[in-house]
Amino acid sequence: MSKKDRIQLSDHFTYKRLFAFVLPTIANMVFLSIYGIVDGLFISNWVGKVAFASVNVTFPIFGVLGVFGLMIGTGGSAIIGKTLGEQNPEKANGLFSFFVYVCIGIGIIMGVTGIFVLRPLISLIGVEENMVGYCMLYGTIGMFTLPCFVLQYMFQILFVTAEKPRLGFWITVITGMTNIVLDFILIVLFDWGIIGAAVGTGVSELVGGIVPLIYFSRPNDSLLRLGKPWVEFPALRKASTNGLSEFVTTVSESVVAMLYNFQLLRLAGADGVAAYGVMQYCTYIFFAIFAGYNLGAEPLFSYNQGADNRLEMKNLFKKSMIIMESGGLAMMAMLIIFARPLVSIFVGYDADLVDMAAHGIRIYALIFMTCGINIFVTGMFTALNNGVVSAFIATVRVVICEIGAVMLLPIFFGLNGIWFAAAVAEAGSIIPVIIFVVLLRKRYGYA
């Protein structure tokens, strides 16, 4: 694409231009979710439902340890985008480099820490004895590549800020294909079981973290280049504050997933955890679309805030709200209609498990009535460098509403209470979202 044809942060965005800009990031996140889904398919169909349930118990731990890449990447992207909008590319590149180096250090520390906290966390969740070995194997291998997992999430966001979302997408494609091919070779052909799944995921994370590192370290035609850091600890603190909502959301969702697993093990055993895992895999793509749109659109809000272009802010806000709500309703309808065929892809070998998961996913689908708006508004305030508000919304949404729902609803409704928990939490979260959108509309000029 020539420089003339390339869509830039400073452009005016029609629906067509907006979709063209965010589509690579959406495709990036969708493909990332697809290779995660394929991981689940291989484990469930070739290793078994106990191993499948074990991986779903273990994975939230990686969410807690790897969240710093998402936090600093999202919060740092807002600062870098705003700095670019202020026409200060030298400082933007220095801050970009500083944030990347910090994330490398954090990833190493978290990986080492994870090796020691893995077994206590697994014990805390209360997994069944036949799951412990699977959890430890998958989790321990994954800790060695955690630094690249952290970088992978960070670079997915910063490719958009660098005006290179398509390149970010293709790197994700390569990463995903690496995982899929290795899953087939190691699980199906070599019969390595859970070890093959962990090694395949680990190698793909090495690709996803190191390839972008090499790209940004060399001369390139993007807006960003890795080099001498602009060491500014207040900026790091601001990036961490900006990304606090992503930190709170990811950590809380990981904790919530552990609570779901705890409740499901208590009420339905390993089958309940497997059914919940199937539901998560079936909805990954839908959540990936929301996340991809958010990550693609956030630099536009940051840039226009720095450029003080309120007219474009209003344009982006209105279009985004319409896209989020209409998309959410379409997703809800699709899940309700196609619940059984989707579930059967993962656990078609067990009729009772298919019945449980299909019933659960039809209830869980109600989440999409409001979650798109909640996700977008939280991300928008992060992009506008107001991490306090976005963190507050995220705290209410996940910590208060969802943890409260998953702990209380099963008391009254049993297993159905677990399936309803997420939708009830999202419905309650729309209240603070509306309040802050109204209260802050004049300050930021988006409405």
Per-residue pLDDT of 333-370, as tens digits, reads 999 999 999 999 988 989 999 999 999 999 999 999 99
Low-confidence ranges of the chain (pLDDT < 70): 1-6, 245
pLDDT, residue 327, reads 95
Return the pLDDT at 212: 95
- Count of CA atoms in the C-beta half-sphere (13 A) of 123: 5
Tokens of 349: 């070998």
- Helices 146-161 and 244-306 cross at an angle (nearest 10°) of 20
Assigned token pair, 135: 């959890």
C-beta separation of 419 from 364 below 8 A: yes
Confidence (pLDDT) at 299? 87
**For tokens 């996803």, what's the residue?**
208
pTM, whole model, 2 decimals?
0.75
Lookup: tokens for 98: 């500083």
Integer Cα distance of 318 and 247 in angstroms: 27
Two structure tokens written together for 334: 């699709």
What span, in angstroms and rounded, lies between the C-alpha atoms of 17 and 296?
A: 12
Structure confidence at residue 375 (pLDDT):
92
**What pLDDT is attached to residue 245?**
67
CB atoms within 10 A of CB 219: 5
Alpha-carbon distance of 412 to 175, in angstroms, equals 44
Yes or no: say if 444 and 309 are a contact pair by the CB < 8 Å rule.
no
CB 230 within 8 A of CB 46: no
DSSP E strands: which ranges in 12-132?
none
